[in-house]
Amino acid sequence: MTGHSRRAFMHAAATCSLLALTLSGTAALADDHTVKIGYAIAKTGPNATGAGITTLPNYQLWVSKVNEAGGLAMPDGSKRMIEVVEYDDRSSNEDLVRAIERLATQDNVDIILPPWGTGANLAIAPLMDRFGYPQLAVTAVTDKAPEFAARWKRSFWMLGGGHDYAVGLADALTAARDAGTINGKIAMVSVADGFGIDLVNGARPAFADAGFEVVYDKSYPLGTSDFAAILNEAKDSGADSFVAFSYPPGSFGMTKTAQSISYNPKVFYIGVGGAFPIYAKIADGKQQGVMSIGGVNAESEAIQTYFQDHIDSAGAPPDSWASAITFASLQMLEQAVERVGLDHEQLAAELSTGTFDTIIGEVKLEDNQLRDLWWVGQWQDGAFKGVNPADKAGASSPIIPKPEW
């Protein structure tokens, strides 16, 4: 390591936020009485909003519930309390990689939980594979999931690909068009980043195959804050459906802009952030009918209990997309540890082949991927509900046209 690299590493290590979570009286327990779990997550920087809503509260809730129950159950019937080693990656993939390396080689944690976001999970995948840790890439949306699962045998991809979400949206819009509710024109915008590119590349052929005409197709740079020109052009396009493959800042900004210019398409669809609990406030309480990526079965008792547990723990509800999947992945991990213990090879094999009882139902991965997912959700009566796949248990019927702002 060069002198410059060594100084950079020490600086990153010194600025990381480190937290050991233990119950009273457990700090002095021997290592064989505890399980050390580590993660690096964006607590500061542009990724902090997503990580702070979707990922970190679920880690904290799960650790609390497990430790309150006496710890993680082991195959021999014993239980071990969880200790947590936590670093702030500051929304930097370089800091993230350094922190993962530190967790594996210096902290010697038993399990490493994943960061938030597609890019972050891709950044650490080779490192997790090299160190042999199972990687639950629960917030990564990528069409290359099958390829990655084959390349990194202990990686697990839990959120589907851009093509999946695009086809689900096309299906929902096709039903509305065929019912005569909307016309066959779509105005589409996308953030010029990996997520937006993945989604729009899936959407163009999906919409074409469904017989839609994309009359407006515009990308915008990451970090854009002024959406007036884009939305005015979409408003003038003649399309009944507005579709944005966007990150939270864009999703929120376009919502505010649409309201300010009285843009009321019959379908208003935004990307990440639309399922966040804070969206209702962003939309000034006028979120009814807004569509977005993801969803939950709002009628499920398990989901309702999870939402209340999350509120009690974090002081706010979870998002209605990846939050529940994140918590379900932790339940899978917990059950796998109880069955086979902490050996990484056996743990990965159990996650790959086992069947698990979770808040989203019974889960069994297919080629290290979770495929039973909600592709489209919509705000209805104060809740963000899954509407596609339309035949999935708990699916709600879409409200189209969306009420005006």
Cα 60 to Cα 76: distance, rounded to the nearest angstrom: 26
**What integer pLDDT is reported at residue 391 of this predicted model?**
96
Residue 10: inside a domain, yes or no? yes
Based on the domain organization, do 58 and 189 belong to the same domain? Answer: no
Residue 120: inside a domain, yes or no? yes
Based on the domain organization, do 8 and 116 belong to the same domain? Answer: yes
List alpha helices for 236-353, DSSP H. 248-260, 279-282, 301-314, 322-340, 344-353
Of residues 281, 267, 272, the one with CA closest to residue 234 = 267
Residue 308: inside a domain, yes or no? no
Expressed as residue numbers, the domain containing 147 is 3-157+322-363
Tokens (6 digits) for 67: 């430790």
Cα 341 to Cα 68: distance, rounded to the nearest angstrom: 20
**What integer pLDDT is reported at residue 3 of this predicted model?**
45
Please write the tens of the pLDDT for every residue from 55-113.
Answer: 999 999 999 999 999 999 999 999 999 999 999 999 999 999 999 999 999 999 999 99
CATH number at residue 254: 3.40.50.2300
Give the other-Cβ count within 10 Å of 259's Cβ. 16
Based on the domain organization, do 68 and 136 belong to the same domain? Answer: yes
Number of domains in the chain: 2
Instruction: Decide if 241 contacts 270 (C-beta within 8 A).
Output: no
Cα 12 to Cα 378: distance, rounded to the nearest angstrom: 41
Instruction: Decide if 231 contacts 254 (C-beta within 8 A).
Output: yes
Residue 52: inside a domain, yes or no? yes
Residue 303: inside a domain, yes or no? no
Based on the domain organization, do 153 and 166 belong to the same domain? Answer: no
Based on the domain organization, do 7 and 153 belong to the same domain? Answer: yes
Based on the domain organization, do 355 and 384 belong to the same domain? Answer: no
Instruction: Decide if 395 contacts 403 (C-beta within 8 A).
Output: no
Based on the domain organization, do 10 and 138 belong to the same domain? Answer: yes
Based on the domain organization, do 76 and 191 belong to the same domain? Answer: no
Residue 317: inside a domain, yes or no? no
Based on the domain organization, do 180 and 150 belong to the same domain? Answer: no
- Within the chain, which residues score under 50 in pLDDT? 2-30
First vs last C-alpha separation in the chain: 57
Cα 347 to Cα 350: distance, rounded to the nearest angstrom: 5
**What integer pLDDT is reported at residue 198 of this predicted model?**
84
Residue 45, judged by CB atoms within 10 A of its CB (0-12, 13-18, 19+), counts as middle
Based on the domain organization, do 207 and 273 belong to the same domain? Answer: yes
Residue 88: inside a domain, yes or no? yes
Based on the domain organization, do 124 and 72 belong to the same domain? Answer: yes
Residue 264: inside a domain, yes or no? yes
Residue 115, judged by CB atoms within 10 A of its CB (0-12, 13-18, 19+), counts as buried
Cα 55 to Cα 41: distance, rounded to the nearest angstrom: 8
| Whether pTM exceeds 0.85 | yes
Cα 263 to Cα 244: distance, rounded to the nearest angstrom: 14
Based on the domain organization, do 117 and 246 belong to the same domain? Answer: no
Q: What kind and span of H or E run contains 387?
A: strand 383-388
